[in-house]
Structure 1
Amino acid sequence: MTTPTDYLASLDAWKLRRLTNLKAPNGWLNIIGRYWLELGSVTVGTATDNDIVLTAGPAHVGTVTEDETGVTFTPADGGAPKRLALSKNKPPQFDVDSLLLEVTTMNGENALRVRDKLSDGPSNFPGIEYFPAEPSWRIVADWVPFEQELTVNTSHNIPTDVVATHKAVFTHEGKTYELIATHGTPAAPQFVIRDLTSKDSTYGACRFVYGEDVTDSTIVLDFNKAINPPCAFTEHAVCPLPPPQNVLPFRIEAGEKRVEMP
């Protein structure tokens, strides 16, 4: 482990990157809508004659068409249709004027998510409050193979099936606990957790922790980097909730606190 001084400096740099990413054009602070798609075509834009009426952007953005094999976007300005390479982990994105659009996929269902790059949301964001940094919350856990199919719920009550391949096993105050990585990959796992601070000082649904320094047998869980999920910043995000195994019966006073959105 690095020295406490180096660790705290690296943590400050991580917090700055975190805030920069939130405020970026593809961050979570400028989303103006999310719309489920169905087979057929829908027009998009701010004009009232569109099927999907936006609050920002051109009067007529274009047409989104879903068929049995995928999704195509046809610009309203007469540009060539664009067949989108759908991906659950990396949704395709494309720009139209001041808008950044993407098509997300969940449980085989697609949705159009729209960001306004001119939104004042990022500039009005008050920032994130953190618990005081505590190096002891950076824990080296055992990284144990653990293959199991799970159904996890989401913030929009959309159950999703996942395959868990590993769990992190660690001790806290003399007791052993296990956290299941429900998302990400074995090399870059994501843990969705909840602890007793959710009752008063952290986001009530969950927080995310990403495993670091993963080896065949160990993984670092840095709870100083426990973050709010996207749904803490916008109603237009769908976030996984923790499986019962990841609801911890103690307080983790580390990482991001609950945000107050303007």
Structure 2
Amino acid sequence: MPDGLTLSASLEDGLSFDKNAIDSFDRNAVDGSVRLRSDDRVSLADGRWLTIGVLASTYSVYVWDPAASTRARLRDIAAYPWDPQWVVAAEYRQQDSELVRAVARARSVSPLGEDVSPIPGAFAFTLHGERHRLLAFEPVPGILLVVFRDGTSGTETPSIGRWLILPTPETGPVRLDFNRAMLPHHVFAESFPCPLPPQENHLPLRVEAGERVPLRD
């Protein structure tokens, strides 16, 4: 895979380059050629910006428009009423280092791609009298992402599932609060490369908790 992308422009093009835009927004006008790598950002003269991503060993360029109708018309996020029955005690079972599981992670973009994400462990819990298990991705050190589907997916909530984000547990029981289930980024902009839930994370019940759908004017 090439070590980044090359962007060539002149001052008249009005482009600025933000190195590692997630951590810094120090802008530098582009006059000549710059090397772009994952998480770098290029601001355009019309207010839009570009970000660089890597998927399946291929670089992708995403165009973001803060004035897009899907964003400008967003007024709220519909959610289920908070209910204590959806707060459960769980046990986080971490894999031994040599058994850390790596699985293909499909992303809901066009064309559909796959990459590999580590799954260092899983949450085991009892809900409505039944035992369940949810695998957890580790997108960044110290943070776990549980992507799950349930009986509401595709009707009352997004078909690509919802998210639970938790800090990596150290010891003892963990509280899973499905009232905090959130919509994936892809619901707000299709260019977000969101992971799809693995088959093991399809819950055979309706989780009527957490965020449901965005509300737009």
- Report the TM-score, using the length of structure 2 for normalisation: 0.78
Answer yes or no: is 1:151 the counterpart of 2:85.
no
State the partner residue of 1:56.
Answer: none
Q: Percent identity?
A: 24
CA-CA distance at 1:108 after TM superposition: 1.6
Answer yes or no: is 1:104 the counterpart of 2:57.
no
Answer yes or no: is 1:188 the counterpart of 2:143.
yes
Structure 2, unaligned runs of 5 or more: 13-30
**Paired residues of 2:158 and 2:183 also in contact (CA < 8 A):** yes
CA-CA distance at 1:225 after TM superposition: 1.6
Aligned equivalents of 1:199 and 1:117: distance in 2? 27
SS of 1:231's partner is helix
Answer yes or no: is 1:203 the counterpart of 2:155.
no
CA-CA distance at 1:124 after TM superposition: 1.3
Change (3 A) 1:128 1:177: same
Aligned equivalents of 1:247 and 1:211: distance in 2? 19
CA-CA distance at 1:177 after TM superposition: 1.0
Change (3 A) 1:202 1:120: closer
State the partner residue of 2:75.
Answer: 126
CA-CA distance at 1:223 after TM superposition: 1.3
State the partner residue of 1:83.
Answer: 35
Over the aligned positions, Cα root-mean-square deviation in angstroms equals 2.3
Aligned equivalents of 1:234 and 1:122: distance in 2? 8
Change (3 A) 1:188 1:108: same
Post-superposition Cα deviations, 1:70-128, rounded to whole Å, max 9, x if no partner, equal 11223342614322242xxxx21232221221111112211111112344543311321
CA-CA distance at 1:236 after TM superposition: 2.2
Aligned equivalents of 2:138 and 2:213: distance in 1? 22
| Structure with greater contact order relative to length (CA < 8 Å, sep ≥ 6) | 2
Structure 1, unaligned runs of 5 or more: 1-66
CA-CA distance at 1:182 after TM superposition: 2.3
Which consecutive segments of 4 or more residues in structure 1 shift more than 6 A?
none
Change (3 A) 1:213 1:160: closer
Aligned equivalents of 1:246 and 1:68: distance in 2? 34
SS of 1:111's partner is strand
Aligned equivalents of 1:197 and 1:121: distance in 2? 23
Aligned equivalents of 2:9 and 2:83: distance in 1? 51
The residue type equivalent to 1:182 in the other structure is F
Matched positions, count: 192
State the partner residue of 2:84.
Answer: 135
Aligned equivalents of 2:214 and 2:181: distance in 1? 13
**Paired residues of 2:74 and 2:214 also in contact (CA < 8 A):** no
Higher relative helix content: 1
State the partner residue of 2:195.
Answer: 240
How do 1:1-262 residues align onto structure 2 when only pairs under 5 Å count? 68-77=2-11, 79-86=31-38, 91-97=39-45, 98-146=47-95, 147-156=100-109, 157-185=112-140, 187-212=142-167, 214-259=169-214
Aligned equivalents of 2:89 and 2:167: distance in 1? 9
